[in-house]
Amino acid sequence: MANKPVNALSKAIRTGLIDAMNMALANDNVEAIVITSELALFSAGADISEFSSGDLAPILPDVLTLVENSSKPVVAAVNGGAFGGGLELALACHYRLSTNHNKVGLPEVHLGILPGAGGTQRLPRLIAPEKALQMIVTGAPTSVKAISELFVSIVEPSELLVQAIKVAKQAVGKVIPATSLIKLSSSPEIEALCEQTKVQTSAKARGFFAPAKCIEAVKAAFELPFAQGLKREGELFEECMHTPQARAQQHFFFAERVAGALPQIAKDTALRDIKQVAIIGAGTMGGGIAMNFANVGIPVVLLELEQAALDKGLELIRRNYENSAKKGKLTQEQVEQRMELLTGTTSYDDLSEVDLVIEAVFEKMSVKKQVFEALDKVCKPGAILASNTSTLDLDEIAQCTSREQDVIGLHFFSPANVMKLLEIVQGAKTADDVIKTAMHLAKTIKKVGVLVGVCFGFVGNRMIEVYGREAGRLMLEGATPQQIDKVIYDFGLPMGPFTMGDMAGLDIGYFVRQSRKEFISHDPSYCTVADELVEAGRVGLKAGKGVYLYDAGSRSPIPDPSVLDIAKRKAKELGIQRRDISDQEILERCIYPLINEGANILLEGIAQRASDIDVIYVYGYGFPVYRGGPMKFADEIGVKEVLARMKHYETALGEYGKHWFTPSPLLEELAQKQQTFAGFKA
């Protein structure tokens, strides 16, 4: 097989496999068949881009039946990763060999489906049921050594083809060991295993449709004869494939990959060398950012003006690494190696040789400017000067240097060593090679970089502001924080807006609001309960009290009736009539303005594509991937419907609605032209 870049089993490859099999079967000089790949991968499985086209004939299960029913032995020489249908092809062969450092897997569950070309029926026939179930339900790749029973042998890459041909020759004239002939039967142990897997995966699988179907399909392998099991797998596959979740997850697969594309930047633009990095500020954020680089072997200098703060920051990083070691994620040796890459300084003079500086100091323009003025004086020409600001005007920061072309925003999300998202903020004068280097760097530190433009809050925080505003207003109008949080949690986010606010610290939003008074002054209801809480010292989890109360050492929110009393009093003062609010209204009023803001962001060119916004929301804010992100969610329910509901609230909520629910012109345009966000081109 040779279908660049990943040997996706497209229509052409499936047809090619059928033709090649038929040719080999018809040719008396052919005694046995070896299937392998000319690329570095064996195969990434079915061609996901074909799923929406509908023309899937000849279907993969039929190709694999032809392979398995071959009267001549078929050997898979798995020369590189084999995923999804790629692994299923290998499972349908009569013998398998692999190279030794190879990984294989059945990741279909991440696409909202299940292995639909016999994977759920053949894998449990070839490896231990618990391993098969884990692979199918989690979709996680596995080293071939962990499932060595699947292979006749695991060899060095240079040996693979020679050995595979040897196995093929030895098989000639012997009984062909078709996997489908292996008999399985159900038992109380299998029943228990399936139940246990359901329980084990329930937290991670919350809201997802496919994982339970994966378990059902594997169960069928034990309960039904092979042919019927295959049929059952096909039915369950179809059931999954036609859900909005499958569409959303497949959309997200491509969204994540396209996010890195920079078509506006010339292909031959050279990258800048990043061999040493400096971080300004060794607080939680700065420390987390530093860990990303140490994790991939890039030395980091941390700068704090006070030695005590520096020591504290380095100590916090060590504690984080030690905790990972305790959990078995790192060895003690790795902890020490990483710590050796981290050095501290209290002097800007020590930053003269670094290639990249990331500022992670207090979110205040005057403080940021001081830092950039200092960096401008000491950093070598060509060094990239980055700010981790989450809301401030990057261009204003850049203007206080003599090198605006070298200034960029690298907005990490907290905890910075864990969260996958990196918003890469392009200033008015940021050079192309700086953008390209930042995007490349995101990959190096295992993040997903998304390019955004300059505006208040960029993409993520600009959109989250309207969501938070609406949650606060709903509390004034009659909903409780628990009701609002539950609606959002049930929609699929890891927590609701009030739990999130408490966790992040209510003082953060409060501080931002202080610097945006002119933007919100016309609306006295704007986050007014949150403001009162912060002014009373109730800043959230870290204070043991915010919108909720917290027992010492606990993160579990406890509802506090006194917060509702504040909401009632404020509502009265503002002349807001309190009423029962339905869950549907809560959902629409939190999510639709967020989508509307996304539409404005697209119109202004702050994001390159709607799918980039989806990537930001899934990786930065925990928007459920099975909804594809807010813009995909809008496409799924219909842009027209979102527009209609925005218009409804625009009038139903009086003055408040008139101001905050004005539909984006893009929403109007797409609805009128019956187009989707996915199809929108700036």
Parallel, antiparallel, or unpaired: how do β-strands 142-143 and 153-155 relate? unpaired
Q: Which residues contact 580 (CB under 8 A, 6 or more apart)?
A: 478
Q: Which one, of 484, 459, 464, 462, lies nearest residue 473 by Cα?
A: 484
Q: Considering the complex, what minimum distance in angstroms separates the CB of residue 130 from ligand 3H9?
A: 21
* 485 is an interface residue for ligand 3H9 by CB under 6 A: no
Distance CA 530, CA 383 (A): 41
* 47 is an interface residue for ligand 3H9 by CB under 6 A: yes
Q: Quickly count: other Cβ atoms within 10 Å of residue 476's Cβ.
A: 21
Site map 110..149 versus ligand 3H9, x via CB under 6 A: -x---xxx-x------------------------------
* 107 is an interface residue for ligand 3H9 by CB under 6 A: yes
State which residue, 80 or 288, has the beta carbon closest to ligand 3H9.
Answer: 80
Q: DSSP of 115-174, one letter per residue?
A: -TTTHHHHHHHHS-HHHHHHHHHH---EEGGGGGGG-SEEE-GGGHHHHHHHHHHHHTTS
Q: Considering the complex, what minimum distance in angstroms separates the CB of residue 634 from ligand 3H9?
A: 23
Q: What is the CA radius of gyration of the chain?
A: 28
Q: Considering the complex, what minimum distance in angstroms separates the CB of residue 159 from ligand 3H9?
A: 23
Q: Considering the complex, what minimum distance in angstroms separates the CB of residue 18 from ligand 3H9?
A: 15
Interacting stretch for ligand 3H9, rule CB under 6 A, among 3-11, 331-339, 357-365, 376-384? 3-11
Distance CA 635, CA 649 (A): 20
State which residue, 39 or 613, has the beta carbon closest to ligand 3H9.
Answer: 39
Q: What are phi and psi of 561, to 5 degrees?
A: -60, -25
Q: Considering the complex, what minimum distance in angstroms separates the CB of residue 442 from ligand 3H9?
A: 13
Q: Is 108 a catalytic residue?
A: yes
Q: How many residues bind ligand 3H9 (CB under 6 A)?
A: 25
In the set 108, 256, 470, 588, the catalytic residue is 108
* 534 is an interface residue for ligand 3H9 by CB under 6 A: no
Residue 465 in tokens: 């502001």
- Tell me the three state secondary structure of residue 586: helix
Site map 221..260 versus ligand 3H9, x via CB under 6 A: ---------------------------------x--x---
State which residue, 180 or 391, has the beta carbon closest to ligand 3H9.
Answer: 180
Q: Considering the complex, what minimum distance in angstroms separates the CB of residue 213 from ligand 3H9?
A: 13
Q: Is 315 a catalytic residue?
A: no
State which residue, 139 or 663, has the beta carbon closest to ligand 3H9.
Answer: 139
State which residue, 84 or 497, has the beta carbon closest to ligand 3H9.
Answer: 84
Q: Considering the complex, what minimum distance in angstroms separates the CB of residue 80 from ligand 3H9?
A: 9
Q: Quickly count: other Cβ atoms within 10 Å of residue 628's Cβ.
A: 28
Q: Which residues contact 187 (CB under 8 A, 6 or more apart)?
A: 222
Residues of this chain, 7-36, that bind ligand 3H9 according to CB under 6 A? 8
- Tell me the three state secondary structure of residue 641: helix
Q: Which one, of 239, 135, 102, 233, lies nearest residue 180 by Cα?
A: 233
What are the angstrom distances between the C-alpha of 131 and each of 107, 125, 138, 341, 612?
A: 14, 11, 11, 38, 35
* 44 is an interface residue for ligand 3H9 by CB under 6 A: yes
Residue 587 in tokens: 């959902």
Which of 49, 323, 562, 651 contacts ligand 3H9 by CB under 6 A?
49
Interacting stretch for ligand 3H9, rule CB under 6 A, among 107-115, 161-169, 589-597, 637-645? 107-115
What are the angstrom distances between the C-alpha of 244 and each of 248, 586, 625?
A: 6, 22, 11
Q: Quickly count: other Cβ atoms within 10 Å of residue 473's Cβ.
A: 23
State which residue, 81 or 620, has the beta carbon closest to ligand 3H9.
Answer: 81
State which residue, 122 or 538, has the beta carbon closest to ligand 3H9.
Answer: 122
State which residue, 59 or 309, has the beta carbon closest to ligand 3H9.
Answer: 59
Q: Which residues contact 67 (CB under 8 A, 6 or more apart)?
A: 17, 21, 35, 74, 89, 92, 93
State which residue, 44 or 451, has the beta carbon closest to ligand 3H9.
Answer: 44
Half-sphere exposure of 439 (CA within 13 A, CB side): 22
Distance CA 419, CA 358 (A): 17
Distance CA 567, CA 219 (A): 52
Which of 1, 32, 34, 46 contacts ligand 3H9 by CB under 6 A?
46
Site map 51..90 versus ligand 3H9, x via CB under 6 A: ---------x--------------------x-xxx--x--
Interacting stretch for ligand 3H9, rule CB under 6 A, among 42-50, 177-185, 348-356, 516-524? 42-50
* 451 is an interface residue for ligand 3H9 by CB under 6 A: no
Q: Which residues contact 175 (CB under 8 A, 6 or more apart)?
A: none
State which residue, 2 or 552, has the beta carbon closest to ligand 3H9.
Answer: 2
Q: What are phi and psi of 582, to 5 degrees?
A: -75, 160
In the set 88, 359, 423, 465, the catalytic residue is 88
Q: Are 222 and 639 in contact (CB under 8 A)?
A: no
Q: DSSP of 350-367, one letter per residue?
A: GGTT-SEEEE---S-HHH
Interacting stretch for ligand 3H9, rule CB under 6 A, among 4-12, 201-209, 368-376, 428-436? 4-12
Q: Considering the complex, what minimum distance in angstroms separates the CB of residue 41 from ligand 3H9?
A: 6
**Burial of 560 from C-beta contacts in 10 A (0-12 / 13-18 / 19+):** middle
In three-state form (DSSP H/G/I as H, E/B as E, the rest C), the secondary structure along 181-208 is HCCCCCCHHHHHHHHHHHHHHCCCCCCC
Question: Which residue carries 């996997």 as its tokens?
Answer: 179
Which of 1, 6, 190, 595 contacts ligand 3H9 by CB under 6 A?
6
Distance CA 281, CA 279 (A): 6
Query: What value, to the nearest 5°, has the Cα angle with vertex 525 and ends 463 and 588?
Result: 45
Q: Are 493 and 624 in contact (CB under 8 A)?
A: yes
Q: Quickly count: other Cβ atoms within 10 Å of residue 306's Cβ.
A: 10
Distance CA 322, CA 332 (A): 8
Q: Considering the complex, what minimum distance in angstroms separates the CB of residue 622 from ligand 3H9?
A: 22
Parallel, antiparallel, or unpaired: how do β-strands 407-412 and 421-425 relate? antiparallel
Q: Considering the complex, what minimum distance in angstroms separates the CB of residue 283 from ligand 3H9?
A: 33
State which residue, 141 or 382, has the beta carbon closest to ligand 3H9.
Answer: 141
Residues of this chain, 254-293, that bind ligand 3H9 according to CB under 6 A? 254, 257
State which residue, 117 or 289, has the beta carbon closest to ligand 3H9.
Answer: 117
State which residue, 5 or 561, has the beta carbon closest to ligand 3H9.
Answer: 5
Which of 24, 48, 140, 265 contacts ligand 3H9 by CB under 6 A?
48
Interacting stretch for ligand 3H9, rule CB under 6 A, among 103-111, 170-178, 291-299, 538-546? 103-111
* 45 is an interface residue for ligand 3H9 by CB under 6 A: yes
- Tell me the three state secondary structure of residue 313: helix
Interacting stretch for ligand 3H9, rule CB under 6 A, among 104-112, 210-218, 430-438, 535-543? 104-112
Q: Considering the complex, what minimum distance in angstroms separates the CB of residue 67 from ligand 3H9?
A: 14
Q: Considering the complex, what minimum distance in angstroms separates the CB of residue 397 from ligand 3H9?
A: 33
Residues designated catalytic: 88, 108
Q: Interface with ligand 3H9 by CB under 6 A: which residues?
A: 5-6, 8, 41, 44-49, 60, 81, 83-85, 88, 107-108, 111, 115-117, 119, 254, 257
